[in-house]
């Protein structure tokens, strides 16, 4: 495992971090966040322990992950000496803050859930234009200073889901030690993007990366044209490895968080994290990634990463699951197969046609996707209307 300085924390963090938002489930059919609350704790603990045993020392969770069950699981899994081997990160649920006292209340609850007396890296979760003014009004910086002073947290950071101008404002507003942004080779100019990454790194702020594989989209269901690119590369690598190498090539990135739910993912990612140094990609390799990026951008219709912040839907719609099939139908140029998948695997209670257009999902979406409009397109393409059109054609 290779390690990198993590901003102002002084921590030598493992290049690979373990993200605890997509842990294995007792009911795998519950994926895509219809109900992801039932963690398969035996399998998840095996994955977490194997990663730590192979040098991963940064573990990231959050208050709402897995229906609130991720933090308690992590607390249990880190018993038996594992807590002492890692730097633990979790997040203040910014959208739930209504008073200054709420901040202390949630932090104290998280300490109990995680079975620890100190959280190493504490982030303000999901900083957006909607939440930021409310946090300032209720004394966010006073809270962080107090939590640092009394030892409940060691370092303060934030995770970000908005535009570059707000990112710079937030960076300059407080003496942050680190931050967390969405970044991958498709999202260089999205939200904080490359400009935000560089802005933070230039100020000595550590940068942790979330969505390195765009919710797995860059690792599975690869378009044939993209797979042909990877197949003709002089060095044979998996699609996931290409995406991870792109990130670790940047010297400003400290930690890349991966939501690993299979042992082969853990071992592949650990191997890559032990090999890649900054500025190690060759010119031809960068050109190959740029070409893959171009192909993806031409085909992807919905900018969804399956983060699940839109869930649960009041009408029961499996929003991420619907969009996965809608995107894959276009990316793989195979509407017929994905129409079958939609009608077989997405139950009647979870179809896009159930949308009541309440708009709650769009208020919560960190990608600012016009979800209601795309749900209509999904149903038109893959649902009953699409089926009738295909039969009549």
**pLDDT over 50 at 390, yes or no:** no
pLDDT tens figures, 295-333: 988 888 898 888 888 999 999 999 988 988 888 888 767
Domain 3-295 -> CATH class: alpha beta
**Averaged pLDDT score across all residues of the chain:** 92
Q: Count the neighbouring beta carbons within 10 Å of the beta carbon of residue 220.
A: 11
Does residue 389 register a pLDDT over 60?
A: no
* pLDDT per residue as tens digits for the range 168-217: 999 999 999 999 999 999 888 888 999 999 999 999 999 999 999 988 88
Which pLDDT value is given to residue 78?
A: 98
Q: How many CB atoms lie within 10 A of CB 53?
A: 11
Name, in order, each residue with C-beta under 8 angstroms of 295's C-beta and a sequence gap of 6 or more: 223, 225, 226, 229
**Residue 33: per-residue pLDDT:** 45
195-218 residues labelled b (16+ CB within 10 A) or e (exposed): ebbebbbeeebbbbbbbbbbbbbb
pTM, full prediction: 0.83
- Any idea where the domains of the chain sit in the sequence? 3-295, 319-392
What 3-state DSSP class applies to 82? coil
Cis-peptide into 312, omega within 30 deg:
yes
């Amino acid at each position: 495992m290779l390690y990198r300085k993590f901003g102002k924390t002084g921590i030598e963090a493992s290049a690979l971090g373990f993200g605890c938002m997509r842990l294995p489930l007792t009911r795998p059919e519950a994926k895509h966040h219809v109900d992801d609350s039932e963690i398969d704790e035996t399998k998840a603990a095996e994955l977490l322990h194997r990663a730590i045993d192979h040098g991963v020392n940064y573990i990231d969770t959050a208050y709402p992950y897995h229906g609130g069950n991720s933090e308690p699981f992590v607390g249990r899994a880190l018993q038996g000496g594992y807590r002492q081997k890692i730097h633990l990160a979790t997040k203040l649920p910014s959208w739930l803050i209504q008073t200054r006292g709420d901040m202390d209340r949630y932090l104290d609850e998280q300490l109990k859930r995680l079975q620890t007396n100190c959280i190493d890296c504490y982030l303000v979760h999901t900083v957006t234009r909607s939440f930021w003014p409310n946090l300032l009004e209720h004394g966010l910086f006073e809270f962080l200073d107090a939590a640092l002073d009394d030892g409940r947290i060691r370092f303060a950071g934030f995770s970000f889901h908005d535009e570059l101008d707000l990112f710079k404002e937030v960076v300059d507003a407080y003496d942050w030690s680190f931050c967390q942004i969405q970044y991958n080779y498709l999202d260089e100019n999205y939200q904080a993007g490359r400009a935000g990454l560089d802005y933070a790194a230039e100020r000595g702020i550590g940068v942790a990366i979330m969505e390195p594989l765009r919710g797995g989209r860059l690792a599975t269901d690869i378009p044939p044209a993209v797979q042909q690119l990877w197949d003709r590369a002089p060095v044979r690598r998996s699609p996931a490895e290409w995406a991870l190498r792109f990130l670790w090539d940047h010297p400003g990135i400290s930690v890349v968080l991966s939501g690993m739910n299979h042992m082969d993912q853990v071992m592949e990612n650990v191997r890559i994290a032990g090999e890649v140094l900054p500025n190690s990609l060759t010119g031809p390799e960068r050109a190959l990634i740029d070409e893959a990026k171009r192909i993806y951008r031409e085909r992807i219709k919905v900018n969804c990463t399956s983060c699940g912040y839109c869930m649960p839907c009041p009408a029961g719609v499996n929003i991420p699951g619907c969009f996965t099939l809608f995107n894959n139908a276009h990316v793989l140029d195979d509407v017929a197969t994905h129409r079958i998948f939609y009608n077989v695997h997405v139950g009647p209670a979870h179809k896009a046609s159930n949308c009541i257009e309440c708009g709650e999902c769009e208020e919560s979406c960190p990608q600012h996707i016009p979800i209601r409009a795309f749900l209509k397109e999904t149903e038109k393409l893959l649902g009953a209307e699409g089926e009738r059109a295909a039969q009549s054609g």
